Chains A and B, each alone.
Chain A
Amino acid sequence: QLQLQESGPGLVKPSETLSLTCTVSGGSISSSSYYWGWIRQPPGKGLEWIGSIYYSGSTYYNPSLKSRVTISVDTSKNQFSLKLSSVTAADTAVYYCARHCSPPVQCFDPWGQGTLVTVSS
């Protein structure tokens, strides 16, 4: 059974870079034609797609965050990562990693448990 687990600091200072890693277990990140994504949920608000990556390294991002986001993959560790620079309080959210469904199906499944990142000095 495929499982995803987010990890990283729970507190980041304003203007610094948020860094999170998603570790995939129960399957290989480089098998089949899956994209892997990051999605966030500010407290009390809805979900927002951040960006996604293919095992080859091909990426696409939400334009509203593109200038600050970098998503990378490490197939040797079966992980993919998120970096969000110049963070502000508005970036405080629960961050989820998820696998895209296998094309042509379009959805996200499964998701990690999520990790709360608070931006505060």
Chain B
Amino acid sequence: QSALTQPASVSGSPGQSITISCTGTSSDVGGYNYVSWYQQHPGKAPKLMIYDVSNRPSGVSNRFSGSKSGNTASLTISGLQAEDEADYYCSSYTSSSTHWVFGGGTKLTVL
């Protein structure tokens, strides 16, 4: 069982917006602005999409945005495109000796 809780799957039609949640505790998501999101296509390496809750690395589309409220972080993808279909993982720094925790992943299906 993963330390951070994500929905197993979400779906949306092209052009729509979807939001993926990531729920942790006050020791990780709620305690630090160190939430990151990764996109993983089948058989590929995870790719950083959002860091420090809401920052986009250079080259990542501005259709991807991140936010946080309390112990829950969210990734929003607007203007869904077929290429967005992938697995998405959240991660957070934690004050526990584990240091880094991940979510179980969310499979995004573009209908």
Cβ of B84 within 8 Å of any chain A Cβ, yes or no, is no
Q: How many residues of A contact B (CB 8 A)?
A: 25
Say yes or no: A106-B45 contact (C-beta < 8 A), given A46-B2, A46-B103. no
B99 touches A49 (CB 8 A): yes
Q: Which residues in chain A, 29-57, are within 8 Å of chain B measured between CB atoms?
A: 37, 39, 45-49, 52
How far apart sit A114 and B55, CA to CA, in the bound complex (Å)? 25
Cβ of A120 within 8 Å of any chain B Cβ, yes or no, is no
Say yes or no: A111-B52 contact (C-beta < 8 A), given A46-B105, A47-B102. no
How far apart sit A36 and B8, CA to CA, in the bound complex (Å)? 29
B9-17, B74-82, B90-98 - the one binding chain A: B90-98
Cβ of A107 within 8 Å of any chain B Cβ, yes or no, is yes
> Contacting A64 at CB < 8 Å: which of B36, B57, B98, B100?
B98
How far apart sit A64 and B96, CA to CA, in the bound complex (Å)? 12
Say yes or no: A62-B102 contact (C-beta < 8 A), given A47-B46, A113-B44. no
Contact partners of A96 in chain B: CB under 8 A? 45-46
Contact partners of B47 in chain A: CB under 8 A? 110-111
Say yes or no: A111-B45 contact (C-beta < 8 A), given A49-B98, A106-B34. yes
Contact partners of A111 in chain B: CB under 8 A? 45-47
Cβ of B101 within 8 Å of any chain A Cβ, yes or no, is yes
What mask results when residues 98 to 116 of chain A are scored 1 for a CB within 8 Å of chain B, else 0?
Answer: 1001000111111111100
How far apart sit A113 and B97, CA to CA, in the bound complex (Å)? 27
How far apart sit A109 and B49, CA to CA, in the bound complex (Å)? 10
Contact partners of B91 in chain A: CB under 8 A? 47, 107-108
B87 CB, min distance to chain A CBs, angstroms: 10
A45 touches B102 (CB 8 A): no
| CB-based nearest B residue for A97 | B45
Contact partners of B102 in chain A: CB under 8 A? 39, 46-49
11 CB contacts below 8 A, A to B, read A45-B2, A46-B103, A47-B91, A48-B102, A105-B51, A108-B36, A108-B48, A109-B48, A109-B51, A110-B45, A111-B45
